[in-house]
Structure 1
Amino acid sequence: MKKKVQMKKMAGVFLALAILGIGLFPPGNVYAAANQAPDADPVVVVLDPGHGGHDQGARYKWGGKTYKEKQLNLAIAKACKTELEKYAGVKVYMTRSSDRFVTLGNRVNFAKSRKADLFVAIHNNASLKKTDHGACVYYPNSGYKEEVGSEGKMAAASIQKQLVALGLKNNGILYRNSAVGSRYPDKSKADYYAVIKRSKYAGFPGLIVEHAYVSNHDDSTTFLNGNDRLKRLGVADATGIAEYFDLILDQVPVLQTPAVNADESVTLAWNTVQGVDYYRIYRRIVGTKTYVCLEETEETGYTDTGVRPGTSYEYTVCGCHVGYQKDSCTKIAQAVQITVTGENVNIQSAQKNQN
């Protein structure tokens, strides 16, 4: 995981290089199409709806309705994925998207294959004591790969805060050590839960979110009864994850029609996007495939002096946010086109030749 970014990127950090009239800013920062965001390294979150298939999880009946944990977990995870994908710079996967059984090992192996930054197991609790209720989140202990435990603890606290805000009893964020004395390679106590332990070995935090008690009448009927209420839990999870990674909502900048100035430079302007720290401006010659980054700026305007007369260009822009874990970029603005006619340049050149 990347360390926290201490400072925002400032405008004018990079110097433009003109190569055949194409600004290269910063060097090598290109992407192929106007509808592709230049985010090569998004945050990867793997959601793991617990149980599935023959593994039912907890089952209780309240008021004539049966609450099946495997179904509840899947509904919450789907809602979480939908909400989380509204943010910029994040890629979300699910270990299962239907009622099927997945082994604990394969759940974490899937997350590892997707290069996960965070693994979140979605569950609901149960107890022999029907008075037990509320939410909690389990995170990795601080032994062995201490940074994984620290990151997991922060992510757990962020999710738990959102669940408590819905009215669930705060049962806290917790870690649980092995009950049989298992140890990590450094001889520290191993984590109890398999997905948390396996995730730590894989190098990323694994969490288990216990949203509510299926075994409690009030928790079930208040928080688990119906798609709208399950969606609220998924949105709470997504909000907590987004806050942990310091993500911003994926808003599309609106790029105005460029203006060609008397000196044949091109001036661009766009709207302010909430949460954005700086913007990237891209350009390509009409008919070519590759856009090149011209500039990174905190302003909402830019003048391109590197154009060639008699050439048509397409411009686009995206907003960028300096996150605690990774930088993220918004969706790309719809490309706008302008043709530099070259009339003023030709007149100036003729006058210069006469002199």
Structure 2
Amino acid sequence: MKTNLQHIFVSIVLIFTCFLTSANSNVNAKDKFVVVLDAGHGGKDPGKPSKKGYKEKDIALKIVLAIGKELEKNPDIKVVYTRKTDVFIGLFQRGKIANKAKADLFVSIHCNAHNTQAYGSETYVLGLHRNETNFNVAKAENEVISYEEDYQKTYAGFDPNSPESYIGLTLMQEEYLDQSIQLASNIQKQFTHKLKRKNRGVKQAGFIVLHQTVMPSVLVETGFITNNHEGKYLNSGKGQKELATAIKDAILEYKNSVQQNVSGHVFDDSTPINEDLVNDEVLTYDDIVFKVQIAASSRNLKAKSYNFKGLSDISKVKVGKLYKYYYGNTSDLNEIRRLETIAKEKGYTSSFVVAFKDGEQIKLSEALKTSKN
């Protein structure tokens, strides 16, 4: 009888231990920073051609697997791959994989091509093409939808050859644009400063694969497979390892910045305030509230001064998975510029002024056009 009781007791302890372990695993899994790595092309879609016989789909996959191997060394990061072998995955399905994983980042890896000896690296975020070159890059990547069954139905008549088809693509990614640009900038900085690659910049274009995702997303053109020197570099183990390490470091830099009190970069696409308007007079605007955006983070921090280098009057707004933090609350333009100066002196060097009307953020340029008291 005593033996039976001991067995029962041991069983209960084991079950309880397993329950706690499972519970902790679930909590840890939820707490992990999820990165989806997307190797462009694959299977029946070889990607861009090269006279030297280099295959974009193979290069992209090797770089992705190398990035993932390095990222997986971090216990607080979960890596999800859209493909780990030479298989064809539709653009819609790639985005679906990322959304299902509730990813914090989506990074798509590609190689560029041109009929000249063009070279260099560039990283794209979703947006309207600012020039014909950007349009042609996106067009080349988007044409792979023709490999998919029923693509006319899946993409609702989207035509990769028509500039007009791209106008509606940007809407879903607008709220993640700042973060996408931040990651893209990190990647280009790594390529330029550490690898000494030619920097072709951070650009916007209408990539379908980025449109399908609901998280910060970038598409990396690691270099030109058609360039004699760069193509050889891209196809080499050394080149692939170096590019993978650079992208890994950029992702970690982004992760650390958004999980700290303040992101490393805060991007402002509003109109700068005319310094001539800032003077000693009271300059207030009807129905407008100005704030200084000082931080963007995935962490939900208490709006207390101890979290923000002693600054008080902190407020926050959740946008997607990100929390935006603001300093100050005033209708006085001179006062908000004074607070912006204080924020910058505290170390928030990328802070900037934003405007709200009826609780909704509006463009600063629009706010400055409203009537003043």
Q: Is the contact made by 1:43 and 1:326 (CA closer than 8 Å) also made in structure 2?
A: no
Matched, 1:242 2:229: no
Equivalent in 28, 40, 43 of residue 33 of structure 2: 43
Matched, 1:232 2:222: no
Higher strand residue share? 1
Provide, for residues 254-309 of structure 1, a one-character-per-residue CA deviation record: whole Å limited to 9, x for no partner: xxxxxxxxxxxxxxxxxxxxx9xxxxxxxxxxxxxxxxxxxxxxxxxxxxxxxxxx
Return the letter of the residue paired with 1:211: T
Q: Which structure has the larger Rg over C-alpha atoms?
A: 1
Give the whole-Å Cα distance in 1 for the aligned partners of 2:178 and 2:199: 20
Shift of the alpha carbon at 1:232?
1.3
User: Residues 69 and 115 from structure 1, CA distance in 2 versus in 1: closer, same or farther, beyond 3 angstroms?
Assistant: same
Equivalent in 83, 87, 90 of residue 103 of structure 1: 90
Equivalent in 188, 210, 218 of residue 196 of structure 1: 210
User: Residues 59 and 326 from structure 1, CA distance in 2 versus in 1: closer, same or farther, beyond 3 angstroms?
Assistant: farther
Gaps of 5+ in 1: 1-29, 177-191, 248-274, 276-322, 328-355
Shift of the alpha carbon at 1:58?
1.5
User: Residues 236 and 33 from structure 1, CA distance in 2 versus in 1: closer, same or farther, beyond 3 angstroms?
Assistant: same
Give the whole-Å Cα distance in 2 for the aligned partners of 1:61 and 1:227: 19
Give the whole-Å Cα distance in 1 for the aligned partners of 2:20 and 2:186: 34
Task: Show the counterpart of 2:197.
Answer: 168
| Count of residue pairs brought into register by the alignment | 202
Task: Show the counterpart of 1:159.
Answer: 187
User: Residues 326 and 46 from structure 1, CA distance in 2 versus in 1: closer, same or farther, beyond 3 angstroms?
Assistant: farther
Shift of the alpha carbon at 1:326?
4.9
Give the whole-Å Cα distance in 2 for the aligned partners of 1:138 and 1:225: 22
Give the whole-Å Cα distance in 1 for the aligned partners of 2:249 and 2:69: 11
Give the whole-Å Cα distance in 2 for the aligned partners of 1:173 and 1:212: 14
Share of identical aligned residues, percent? 35
Give the whole-Å Cα distance in 2 for the aligned partners of 1:154 and 1:141: 15
Shift of the alpha carbon at 1:195?
1.1
Matched, 1:209 2:223: no
Q: Which structure exhibits the higher relative contact order, with contacts defined as CA atoms closer than 8 Å and separated by 6 or more residues?
A: 1
Task: Show the counterpart of 1:127.
Answer: 114
Shift of the alpha carbon at 1:157?
0.7
Shift of the alpha carbon at 1:226?
2.0
Give the whole-Å Cα distance in 2 for the aligned partners of 1:226 and 1:175: 29
Return the letter of the residue paired with 2:86: D
Higher helix residue share? 2
Give the whole-Å Cα distance in 2 for the aligned partners of 1:55 and 1:152: 26
Shift of the alpha carbon at 1:75?
0.2
Matches within 5 A, 1:56-75: 56-62=46-52, 66-75=53-62
What is the Cα-based RMSD across aligned positions, in Å?
A: 2.7
Task: Show the counterpart of 1:137.
Answer: 123
Q: Is the contact made by 1:42 and 1:326 (CA closer than 8 Å) also made in structure 2?
A: no
TM-score normalised by L of structure 1: 0.52
TM-score normalised by L of structure 2: 0.50
Matched, 1:85 2:72: yes
Give the whole-Å Cα distance in 1 for the aligned partners of 2:96 and 2:186: 25
